[in-house]
Amino acid sequence: MRRQNIYRPRRERIYDWMAGESIAMVMLEDTEGRRDSNIRWLTGQPGDALLFLSVERKSLLVPWDTNLAKIYADTDHIRAYADFDRMPLKACKKAVDFFGLPPGSKIEVPPVTPYPGFLRFLEALDGFDVLCRDGGIAPELEKLRSVKDGAELENFRCAAAVTDEIIDALEKLLRQGKLKTEIDAAAFIDAESRRRGCEGTGFETLAAGPSRSFAIHAFPAYSGESFGGAGLSILDFGLVCSGYTTDVTLTVARGLSKPQEQLLALVENAYTLAVSTIKPGTPTADTAAAVDAAFAKAGKTMPHALGHGIGLDPHEGPAIRKRDDNRWIFGPGMVVAVEPGLYDPLLGGCRLENDFLITGDGTEALTHSRIIRL
């Protein structure tokens, strides 16, 4: 009953959109190499599956694991993927029959559908109008999902609370000298967050001590190298409650040289600047441009975007970057991660990242990561 209250209204918004676009059926696919959290957003189903939505306002889920689907999924119908030899095309043809679509109906598949695979869809669904386009179902879902509903904010608050607890615990352990290596830090986050009820981590925890913090995303993600010693260390992680992930980065600073202090000060100032510009109605590119300009003034370039929305995915709408194709505007209900950072092969790297809910007139900080000076 509770699940239905969450997922059915989301599907209704897609059905409305389908009716407006005269789309008879939408197919979504969540598979290895092409993950799609839209199926979880629309039904609660967390794993591999196909989802078919009919403009007649019915949903058909085709999961890999029916046992899991029976527990998690809110959908009108379930059919096992194994019944179709785990082949999307077979399942799709069956869904067309199941919903009784008349020939000529519009069927939309996701824009990430590979070109050769789409050609096979066209052939197999001869007589139907099969669409695969950038301007269709995917951006509609991205737009809807960029503004979080009450159930989603509840999950964020849960994830943010544990994230803050873990940050405090990490700082304490660091000050006590109990975290010595990158493995110590990452293993603590990964196990302790689950012990505190998290579903998992939103992405592989990144722990980079002074010898490896020069990389945006250290490779490997963590290792036996020293963490929190002299220089700059970076810790980037996200904790998940009921699917929704935080995304925070803290920098640990100890015994910095003057150039390292300057690098860190630039990042801290950029962070404050960025947060001060975020308001409903502001183009996200403007916030990114302000930070880029501040770094440029100091002769520095940030090698990644300033931020991004978070949710069921660690990166979702809105994008926060200065690029011609970025048309996002901050709006109430969006939840974003802001993460200015600078990286130098010799000095190391530093990044500060927290998550913010966009409110009616500004931002509310959900997480409280920080620079930890030892």
Work out whether 200 is an interface residue with its own copies (CB under 8 A): yes
- 115 counts as binding its own copies under rule CB under 8 A: yes
Asked whether position 139 contacts its own copies by CB under 8 A, the answer is: no
78 binds its own copies (CB under 8 A): no
Helix axes 150-175, 182-195, angle to 10 degrees: 140
Among 264, 212, 216, smallest CA distance to 233 is for 212
Q: Residue 45 Cβ, how far from its own copies at the closest point, in Å?
A: 10
Binding mask 4-43 for its own copies (x = CB under 8 A): ----------------------------xxxx--------
Establish whether the linkage from the previous residue to 318 is cis, with ω within 30° of 0.
yes
- State which residue, 208 or 372, has the beta carbon closest to its own copies: 208
Which of 195, 258, 281, 360 touches its own copies (CB under 8 A)?
195
The number of angstroms, rounded, from the C-alpha of 264 to the middle of its chain's C-alpha atoms is 26
Q: How far apart are CA 306 and CA 29, in angstroms?
A: 30
- Kindly state the number of chain residues that form the binding site for its own copies, as judged by CB under 8 A: 54
CB closer to its own copies, 57 vs 90 = 90
With CB under 8 A as the contact rule, the residue among 151, 169, 187, 374 that binds its own copies is: 187
The single-letter code of the amino acid at 25 is: M
* Among 198, 50, 152, residue whose Cα is nearest residue 110: 50
Neighbours of 350 (CB within 10 A): 29
Kindly indicate which of the ranges 6-14, 188-196, 266-274, 356-364 contains the residues binding its own copies, using the contact rule CB under 8 A: 188-196
DSSP string over 175-234: HTT---BHHHHHHHHHHHHHHTT--EESS--EEE-TTTTTSSS-SSSS-SSB-SSSEEEE
Position 134 contacts its own copies (CB under 8 A): yes
Neighbours of 104 (CB within 10 A): 9
Q: Which residues in this chain contact its own copies in the complex, by CB under 8 A?
A: 32-35, 46-47, 64-65, 67-68, 72, 80, 82, 85, 111-118, 132-134, 183, 186-187, 190-191, 194-195, 197, 199-200, 204, 214-217, 219-224, 301, 303-304, 315, 323-324, 343, 345
